[in-house]
Amino acid sequence: MNEPLDTDYLVIGSGIAGLNFALLAAEHGRVTVITKKKPADTNTNWAQGGVAAVLASDDSFEQHIQDTLVAGDGLCDRAVVEIVVNDGPKQVQRLLDVGVRLARDAHGNLDLGMEGAHTRHRVVHWEDVTGREIQRALIAAVLKHPNITVLDGHIAVDLLSLAKYGGDPACFGAYVLDIHSGEVKTICARATVLATGGTGKVYIYTSNPDVATGDGIAMAYRIGAACGDLEFTQFHPTVLYHPHAGSFLISEALRGEGGVLKLANGETFMENYHPMKSLASRDIVARAIDNELKKSGADCVYLDMTHLDAAFVRGRFPNIHERCLSLGIDITKQPIPVVPAAHYQCGGIKADHNGATTIQGLYAIGECAFTGLHGANRLASNSLLEGMVFSARAADAVRSAPRIRPAQVQPWSYGGATDSNDAIVVTLNWDEIRRFMWSYVGIVRSDKRLERARRRIEILRDEIREYYIDFKVTPDLLELRNLALVAHLIIESARRRKESRGLHYTLDYPDHLPEARHSEIQLTNGPRG
């Protein structure tokens, strides 16, 4: 039997949070990064907008803080918002130091974009592919660092917990499936860092890549970590509506630069929902579009850029312009058909100001973490900033992490499991979960819809648990198991919130409760898949 692999810091995920942590932690320890596909297969790589930071003379930290608090609809933790916003300029400089290219104006200053619910121009960017540029630079730096090992094609199965050995709850690594060989490896670490991204693939329509299956949240919950605010799934208002678009995101920055939402007949409608019109926050715009589509029976609304200078639009949004043009849509001459789609998980694994979870030795950073920054609705372009801030804080905090592990670590055992000969079960269950989550736990919810979703997910989880026990693990099965658990957690969190706030809107409780409170959900009665 293979001996456990040993490292100082095990990082699960290779987006902005995971890679920035790896670079900083590698200055004082050995780092192993695992990623289930290639290092660039991340939500970060798909991020178009940019990084929000106070850099303009007419801006202020307090203004950025207020914009974040307003978007979060009363549920942000102000202390966390202050930490992140105040660190913004430093983190933009960090990106430049790592080699990230950022757009400049004619005077050589950083070009600052405007996005929805912001009251100032403060978003640094690289054209309309900022995430891809950040990912490129971080990967290049990571791959040449002597203290960092990157294992692609490796997917975490479960976290290693001392509780399984009769000790207190503490994490000391993970079981990891090597997709290339089929071997399940045991990797032990002083600190295990979850940087696994979000949960977008729990919905049939999403702007997220296929890897966003909530793996980190599911694994952390299974070993007893507290999670919170999982009912707040952000639906991006503008994803390209086209049969061959593959849920292509139309960045918030288009509305920031003057794009206007319209109905098929050319009429505007956002003035009926909010004074900021097309620049209102994502929760408001997504609900407005959803309402207009239900009223009219139309398939989509339109984002109109045709009144803006064509050269400016092509230069500012070259990737979006090119992608739309490939589908027969010239955004300088035609409005863009758009619909909402699941985009970002505002909740996640409960983490403190240094990324530490409620389980010793386990850290969560980036989208999979629930820090209190986003409240009930994330402000545009605060997510990449959050990933930078908390990865830096966690990299400093893990210096003092003790090496805790049992004297003898149990290797992974397949028991009596055999190779699956019925993979269609995984595909069908995956599809069913994503469809009923969209129908029952989407932009507008109700008690009846949530109860229907609860009944369905319990039946499916029982089927998946049985399948998991009987057959050897595969990447598809692991993702399905995690997806089903995350769906359950989202449903249960939504059922418990008896109000409408931010991204959680329910027909049965359309008003705010007097006091804004975070939700929390934690395993208390033994492990379940």
User: What are the tens digits of pLDDT across the range 12-46?
Assistant: 999 999 999 999 999 999 999 999 999 888 889 88
Query: Closest by alpha carbon to 249, among 197, 193, 207, 295?
Result: 207
Sign of the alpha-carbon torsion through 145, 86, 367, 283: negative
What confidence category does residue 528 fall into, taking pLDDT thresholds of 50, 70 and 90? Answer: very low
What confidence category does residue 422 fall into, taking pLDDT thresholds of 50, 70 and 90? Answer: low
Find the range with the poorest average confidence among 67-81, 90-104, 371-385, 409-423.
409-423
Q: Which residues of 111-126 are buried (b: 16+ CB within 10 A; e: fewer)?
A: bbbbbbbbebebbbbb
Q: Are residues 357 and 448 in the same domain?
A: no
Q: Which residues of 205-233 are buried (b: 16+ CB within 10 A; e: fewer)?
A: bbbbbebbbbbbbbbbbbbbbbbbbbbbb
Q: What is the CATH number of the domain that holds 257?
A: 3.90.700.10
Q: Are residues 198 and 320 in the same domain?
A: no
Within-domain flag for 92: yes
Q: Are residues 80 and 142 in the same domain?
A: yes
Q: Are residues 171 and 90 in the same domain?
A: yes
Q: What is the CATH number of the domain that holds 214?
A: 3.50.50.60
How far is residue 125's CA from residue 320's CA, in Å, rounded to a whole number?
A: 14
Within-domain flag for 244: yes
Q: Are residues 429 and 376 in the same domain?
A: no
Within-domain flag for 411: no
Question: 324, 342, 360: which is the final residue of a domain?
Answer: 342
Q: Are residues 227 and 250 in the same domain?
A: no
The model's pLDDT over 165-217, given as tens digits with 9 standing for 90+, comes to 998 899 999 999 999 999 999 999 999 999 999 999 999 989 998 999 999 99
Within-domain flag for 405: no
Flag whether pLDDT at 80 surpasses 60: yes
Flag whether pLDDT at 315 surpasses 50: yes
Flag whether pLDDT at 526 surpasses 60: no
Instruction: Supply the range of the domain harboring residue 292.
Output: 238-342
Query: Closest by alpha carbon to 117, among 61, 66, 50?
Result: 66
Q: In the chain, how many domains are there?
A: 3
Flag whether pLDDT at 330 surpasses 70: yes
Within-domain flag for 526: no
Dihedral, 334, 293, 499, 377 alpha carbons, nearest 10: -10
The predicted model scores a pTM of: 0.94
The model's pLDDT over 389-399, given as tens digits with 9 standing for 90+, comes to 999 999 999 99
- Provide mean pLDDT across the span 136-148: 97
Q: Are residues 89 and 204 in the same domain?
A: yes
How far is residue 281's CA from residue 292's CA, in Å, rounded to a whole number?
A: 17
- Provide mean pLDDT across the span 74-92: 98
Q: Are residues 316 and 358 in the same domain?
A: no
The model's pLDDT over 221-253, given as tens digits with 9 standing for 90+, comes to 999 999 999 999 999 999 999 988 878 999 989
Q: Are residues 251 and 216 in the same domain?
A: no
In this prediction, residue 246 carries a pLDDT of: 79
Q: What is the CATH number of the domain that holds 441?
A: 1.20.58.100
Within-domain flag for 516: no
Q: Which residues are catalytic?
A: 282
Find the range with the poorest average confidence among 48-62, 112-126, 392-406, 513-527.
513-527
Q: Are residues 291 and 143 in the same domain?
A: no
Within-domain flag for 174: yes
Q: Are residues 370 and 287 in the same domain?
A: no
Within-domain flag for 506: no
In this prediction, residue 168 carries a pLDDT of: 87
Q: Are residues 149 and 47 in the same domain?
A: yes
In this prediction, residue 525 carries a pLDDT of: 59
